[in-house]
Chains A and B, each alone.
Chain A
Amino acid sequence: MTGLEIDAISKRYGDVVALREMTFDVRPGELFGFVGSNGAGKTTTMRIALGVLSADAGQVRYAGEPVTHETRRHIGYMPEERGLYPKMKVGEQLTYLARLHGMPAADAKASAEKWTERLGVAGRRDDEVQKLSLGNQQRVQLAAALVHEPRILVLDEPFSGLDPVAVDVMSQVLREKAADGVPVVFSSHQLDLVERLCDRVGIVRSGQMVEIGAVSELRAGGAVRLRVDVPEAGDGWADGLPGVKVLGRKGTVTELELGDGADDQAVLKAALATGPVREFAREQPTLADLFRSVVTTEEVPA
């Protein structure tokens, strides 16, 4: 069963290449984290998936079929540029948006009530959107993406601007949607959140997907680090060990990165040679570490 597939999408604005054969897929029931630095092409990709922008090349498919105008009505979308009618009441606005996605009037109204309840803005249904705080507007924006009970979710920075309680509600909602078999893709700069929430992650740089896979896979694929607590060692105790890079020393703890061909046992021997070793730990890089190393790698010319 295939979910949402982004297949070799390219887009340029004049001389600027925004996307270069962007390719990934989001399987049904999967939470997919879309990360990359600002301007890497995340928003452009999502806009193309929603048909708001047209691609120069490539295809977006859902369940194996190219996405059409009709399938797009099944997508719940949260644009990066938040937008609702400022002078329209929350309840009316959500009902209207649900109907624009093809929901019958009565269902649309019931769904608007359900989602305002769920997202904690039920008391503000009869207020104009502009009268709500930014945080509450954000919750209404989420409700707008969910109100037509979409079968696909494409959310651009859904967590930005949310308080911790709203982040928890949002995470819960996304997990439930995924559990119902909905492919969920969202972009975020909150990498700890992405790491906790997502089944798979894609890292983009300059309009290209550079790393893609389960968080654990990606972390396992990164360079191994060692944390060694050697109280009696002098500075430079680990220098000269083949394939070992000293990242820094804090107090008695030295952090090392093991390159190809490095032997952790050789490091341990060197550490023991300095005196007692209180801690010797192997650490996997966090998503944030991976992200940094990926996006700071020198740009590959086209």
Chain B
Amino acid sequence: MSTPGTDIRMSPASAVGLVASREISTRLKAKAFRVSTAVILLLIVVGIVAIKLFTGGGGADSTVGYTAATAGFAAPLKAGAQAVGENIDTSQVADEAAGRAKLADGSIDALLTGDGKSVHVQVKKDLDGKLANVLQLLSRQVALDQQITAAGRNPAEFNAAVAAARFIEDPPLEQPYDYDGQQLVLGIAAGVLIYLSLMLNGQGVAQGVVEEKTSRVVELLLSTIKPWQLMAGKVLGIGVVGLVQMVVIGAGGIIAGLATNVLTISVSAAIGTVVWLIVWYLLGFFMYSIVFAALGALVSRQEDVAGATSPALMFVIAGYVVGISVLPSDPGNTFVEVLSVIPVFSPTLMPMRLAMGGVPVWEAVLSVGLVVLLIPGLIWFAARIYRNAVMRSGAKVKLRDALRAA
């Protein structure tokens, strides 16, 4: 005879924990997860190395050849180029004919010809605009030197005096924020990472919910745990997996950037970016994945997941697209500033702005606060839909029915 009583007490937390740990272990073991993480990490490292190769110190912007007659232009050309931020290499050629041969085979970009009294240049096809500017400066310098010599003065002394002149800036009326190129790149990278992560893991939640519906295992699960426990465990588990992925990718990217000197910002600024990235990933993930779980519960086939989650995905995409298209050219855009505080857009926009810098503290705090406030409401809403829809297989459950049904 069985003895009733001694009920199995399992706290809701341990039920949620069991579901979450199943999600974590099956997902971390899955080949797809490992491959996708490795591929994204590899792409980022390759991208950083590529930036290093194309722009980093090494290669000059252009190489200019000179003959014995024009050798006097070589030094002022380099100096002038440096003054405008161009990096020009010079190399001597035997004579103009040899120089033209080098022009033809592409080993030099321009050749200084003539007798050295005025600047003559020859190129293979088109004269590069920046090089043209530098040459224009050079020819002015040459003309000026000739005038100074004609006036009986020493051009070297004159130039030294001119070079020593500096302007003095009075304090600006408003404190401007300087968006430098690296922060811009970081901001864009942050935006792309958050976006990818919300797309992959958010969809992962919806697919996981549908997997349980399609395989019917949900009925067995719900005979022992409550719907909200199953939903919360799933969201939590996938969130942790996404976080691991995010940290691996984010840290890998920053380390690669610092190691190759592509990133020259301070380590603390880099860590700040990663921390903000993680905070916003978590906020964005929980906000969206709760909704994705509910929307996923409405359908019974994997093919229908994309359709069911698209209304929520549109906000993610909209935020990302606005951010990525407006912020690089106009980091202080007021429209983006306003959007980045509104909860549905903040997970994609705020981390980009934070990585670029110059976000007032109150905006950062307000945007986090609004999302935190919104999440309990979303949980209530999602749990209701999930509970009502998850046991109904077959045709798509209408959102209205799922909200109304007891």
Query: Bound pair: A and B?
Result: yes
Total cross-chain contacts (CB, 8 A): 83
Contact B215 A84 (CB under 8 A): yes
Choice from A62, A63, A65, A101 contacting B224 with Cβ under 8 Å: A101
- Contact flags A63-94 to B (C-beta < 8 A → 1, else 0): 10100111111110101011111111000000
Choice from A52, A74, A75 contacting B219 with Cβ under 8 Å: A52
Task: Answer yes or no: B266 CB below 8 A from chain A CBs.
Answer: no
- Contacting A at CB under 8 A, from B1-26, are 1-2, 4-5, 7-10, 15, 18-19, 22, 26
On whether A70 and B9 interact (CB within 8 A), knowing A79-B216, A100-B15, the answer reads yes
Closest B residue to A53 by CB, please name it. Answer: B391
Contact B2 A180 (CB under 8 A): yes
Task: Answer yes or no: A151 CB below 8 A from chain B CBs.
Answer: yes
- Contacting B at CB under 8 A, from A43-67, are 47, 50-54, 62-63, 65
User: Which residues of B lie under 8 Å from residue A1 when comparing CB positions?
Assistant: 1
On whether A102 and B219 interact (CB within 8 A), knowing A52-B391, A96-B22, the answer reads no
Task: Answer yes or no: A121 CB below 8 A from chain B CBs.
Answer: no
User: Which residues of B lie under 8 Å from residue A51 when comparing CB positions?
Assistant: 222-223
- Contacting B at CB under 8 A, from A170-189, are 180-182
Task: Answer yes or no: B225 CB below 8 A from chain A CBs.
Answer: yes
Task: Answer yes or no: A97 CB below 8 A from chain B CBs.
Answer: yes
Interface range on chain B (Cβ under 8 Å from partner) = 20 to 34
User: Which residues of B lie under 8 Å from residue A181 when comparing CB positions?
Assistant: 1-2
Contact B1 A70 (CB under 8 A): no
Task: Answer yes or no: B97 CB below 8 A from chain A CBs.
Answer: no
Contact B220 A77 (CB under 8 A): yes
In the complex, how many angstroms separate the beta carbon of A225 from the nearest chain B beta carbon? 40
Contact A62 B4 (CB under 8 A): yes
- Contact flags B193-233 to A (C-beta < 8 A → 1, else 0): 00000000000000000011001111111111110000000
User: Which residues of B lie under 8 Å from residue A79 when comparing CB positions?
Assistant: 216, 219-220, 223
Choice from A50, A63, A65, A81 contacting B216 with Cβ under 8 Å: A81
The binding surface of chain A is classed by DSSP as loop
On whether A83 and B217 interact (CB within 8 A), knowing A74-B8, A101-B224, the answer reads yes
On whether A63 and B8 interact (CB within 8 A), knowing A50-B223, A96-B22, A99-B18, the answer reads no
On whether A28 and B216 interact (CB within 8 A), knowing A50-B223, A70-B9, A101-B224, the answer reads no
Closest A residue to B1 by CB, please name it. Answer: A181
Closest A residue to B19 by CB, please name it. Answer: A100
Choice from B2, B7, B9, B219 contacting A83 with Cβ under 8 Å: B219
In the complex, how many angstroms separate the beta carbon of A14 from the nearest chain B beta carbon? 11
Contact A73 B10 (CB under 8 A): yes
Contact B7 A70 (CB under 8 A): yes
Contact A72 B223 (CB under 8 A): yes
In the complex, how many angstroms separate the beta carbon of B303 from the nearest chain A beta carbon? 16
Closest A residue to B216 by CB, please name it. Answer: A83
* Distance A100 CA – B20 CA, assembled complex (angstroms): 12
User: Which residues of A lie under 8 Å from residue B26 when comparing CB positions?
Assistant: 87-88
- Contact flags A138-163 to B (C-beta < 8 A → 1, else 0): 00000010000001000000000000
In the complex, how many angstroms separate the beta carbon of B135 from the nearest chain A beta carbon? 66
In the complex, how many angstroms separate the beta carbon of B18 from the nearest chain A beta carbon? 6
Task: Answer yes or no: A29 CB below 8 A from chain B CBs.
Answer: yes
User: Which residues of B lie under 8 Å from residue A71 when comparing CB positions?
Assistant: 4, 7
Closest A residue to B391 by CB, please name it. Answer: A52
On whether A102 and B9 interact (CB within 8 A), knowing A81-B216, A83-B220, A87-B26, the answer reads yes
Contact A52 B222 (CB under 8 A): yes
* Distance A65 CA – B7 CA, assembled complex (angstroms): 12
- Contact flags A217-246 to B (C-beta < 8 A → 1, else 0): 000000000000000000000000000000
In the complex, how many angstroms separate the beta carbon of B124 from the nearest chain A beta carbon? 61
Contact A100 B8 (CB under 8 A): no
* Distance A81 CA – B7 CA, assembled complex (angstroms): 27
User: Which residues of B lie under 8 Å from residue A73 when comparing CB positions?
Assistant: 7-8, 10, 224
* Distance A181 CA – B1 CA, assembled complex (angstroms): 4
* Distance A212 CA – B26 CA, assembled complex (angstroms): 47
In the complex, how many angstroms separate the beta carbon of B21 from the nearest chain A beta carbon? 9
* Distance A28 CA – B211 CA, assembled complex (angstroms): 37
In the complex, how many angstroms separate the beta carbon of B141 from the nearest chain A beta carbon? 73
Choice from B8, B19, B212 contacting A102 with Cβ under 8 Å: B8
* Distance A97 CA – B393 CA, assembled complex (angstroms): 22
In the complex, how many angstroms separate the beta carbon of A151 from the nearest chain B beta carbon? 5
Contact B215 A85 (CB under 8 A): yes
In the complex, how many angstroms separate the beta carbon of A168 from the nearest chain B beta carbon? 25
In the complex, how many angstroms separate the beta carbon of A102 from the nearest chain B beta carbon? 3
Residue with the greatest number of chain B CB neighbours at <10 A, chosen from A29, A81, A87, A181: A81
Contact A102 B216 (CB under 8 A): no
* Distance A144 CA – B217 CA, assembled complex (angstroms): 11
* Distance A88 CA – B7 CA, assembled complex (angstroms): 29
Choice from A50, A52, A100 contacting B18 with Cβ under 8 Å: A100
User: Which residues of A lie under 8 Å from residue B8 when comparing CB positions?
Assistant: 70, 73-74, 101-102
User: Which residues of A lie under 8 Å from residue B406 when comparing CB positions?
Assistant: 54
In the complex, how many angstroms separate the beta carbon of B99 from the nearest chain A beta carbon? 68
**25 interchain pairs (CB within 8 A)?**
A1-B1, A28-B1, A29-B1, A51-B222, A52-B391, A53-B391, A70-B9, A71-B7, A72-B223, A73-B224, A75-B223, A77-B220, A81-B219, A81-B393, A82-B216, A83-B216, A83-B219, A84-B217, A84-B220, A85-B211, A86-B215, A87-B26, A101-B8, A102-B9, A151-B4
A binding-site residues for B, Cβ under 8 Å: 1, 28-29, 47, 50-54, 62-63, 65, 68-75, 77, 79, 81-88, 96-97, 99-102, 144, 151, 180-182
In the complex, besides A83-B217, A181-B1, 15 extra interface pairs with C-beta distance below 8 angstroms are A28-B1, A28-B2, A52-B223, A52-B391, A62-B4, A63-B4, A71-B7, A73-B7, A73-B10, A77-B223, A83-B218, A83-B220, A85-B215, A102-B9, A102-B10
Leading 5 A-B pairs by shortest Cβ distance: A83-B216, A102-B8, A70-B7, A63-B4, A83-B217
